[in-house]
Amino acid sequence: MDGPRAPRADELDSLLDLLCEIWDYFPRLYSQEYLHDGIRRRLHRRDARIIVEDGRPVSNIQMLFHDIDAYGCRFKTASIGCVCTRADRRNQGFAGAILQRCLKDMTDAGARLLFVSGDRSLYRRNHCVHAGDFLDARLDPAVLPPAPPSLSVRRVQPDAWPLLAPLYQAEPVRFRRRLNFLQETCFWWDCNRHQIWLIESAGRALAYAAFVTGFVAEGQKPTPALAEYAGSRAALVDALPAIAQGGSYSAVELAFPAWDRDLAYLVGRLGAELRPRPLPHHTVRLLDLPGLMLELRPYLAARLPESDLDRLSFAQEGETCRFTCGEQTLSLGLSEAAPLVLGGPNRPAVEGDLGRVLASVFPLPLPLIGFEYI
């Protein structure tokens, strides 16, 4: 066994063969030229971790790194995907060994949180849990008021990102993106299957919304889920009937961060039930609690008086996190700490002065994963 390690350039074609063996629909979705060009993106050489036997990769995990901007505070996150092992090499601990290497590499690189696009035993054993403070609503376009005539809605492709970027850049909680970030993502999630709708008025971009649809049975209309949005919330809500008509949607699923009070108010005003939920389609693990809170100190300072801020501290030793305010200290395992910090259905209750202070700053705001999905 050779690894876990990063793949060499001469192993990328063999790695692609492994991916196409596990996800056999890749060759049906993408051309061979696209697949081979995609696997040679820098991040696949740099941020994949593999185990090699007999000169060929047999197990793989792909990492991605991102920066999040939350009300002007910046911190690094990581995500993993494409977790796979060849069928005849499973149950030998390969994926677990690679994941441990990835966790070390992520922490060494300064990542504070890990997002995982899945919920399997491998992730749960490594303290990846459902967390995040989000809301979910289902809307029937047939009962929505018609879009104002001043709004126009059109579908755009991912290469329209330069037009959408200024809208996203103005979001208070967002991923920091370079203009060409779509060319730097994993090739199979570069949003070529998203339906991206641009909302304009008098030729000026007001908002956009990206939806994804799962499997649709023959003869049925799709029910898309909101994957990402930016810009005017009022324009977005007003445009939903036109978007639904353009996409032949039977209904629309909206999942969005609970910190977005504007969107919550507008959706609630339509009579939709707003249901709390964790980060959609992902589990989360804390990687470095003290580092995260140090980078978010300006965010804390805007919410806490100095007397509380000076008494508040955070520590992490291995898989235990400690929250301290004055004389009161709370110790939690990583699986319990993540819902406390980020919110979610399993958020533990904290009593006393520490509970009062933490309630002022937690849950921390997160963006929808959107185009960063892996």
pLDDT tens digits, one per residue of 195-233: 999 999 999 999 999 998 764 455 666 678 999 999 999
Give the separation between CA 127 and CA 129, rounded to whole angstroms. Answer: 6
Which residue type sits at 183?
Answer: Q
Domain boundaries, the chain: 2-125, 134-277, 285-361
% of the chain with per-residue pLDDT over 70:
96
- Mean pLDDT on 179-183: 87
Name the CA dihedral angle for 348, 351, 353, 359, rounded to a multiple of 10 degrees: 40
Give the separation between CA 272 and CA 260, rounded to whole angstroms. Answer: 16
Q: 305: Cβ–Cβ under 8 A, 6 or more apart, which residues?
A: none
The whole-model pTM stands at: 0.92
Asked if residues 195 and 212 have their Cβ atoms less than 8 Å apart, the reply is yes
**Fold that domain 134-277 belongs to in CATH:** Aminopeptidase (3.40.630)
What is the pLDDT at residue 143? 86
What is the pLDDT at residue 36? 86
User: Does the structural domain 2-125 have CATH classification 3.30.450.20?
Assistant: no
% of the chain with per-residue pLDDT over 90:
78
Which residue type sits at 94?
Answer: F
Pairing type for strands 111-116 and 73-85 reads parallel
Which candidate, 193, 255, 247, places its Cα nearest to that of 221?
Answer: 247
Residue 235: pLDDT above 80? Answer: yes
Of residues 218 and 257, more confidently modeled: 257
What is the pLDDT at residue 353? 96
Which residue type sits at 355?
Answer: G
pLDDT digits (tens, 9 = 90+) for 271-314: 999 999 999 989 999 999 999 999 999 999 999 999 999 999 99
Assign 187 a pLDDT band (cuts: 50, 70, 90).
low
Give the separation between CA 186 and CA 308, rounded to whole angstroms. Answer: 43
What is the pLDDT at residue 198? 98
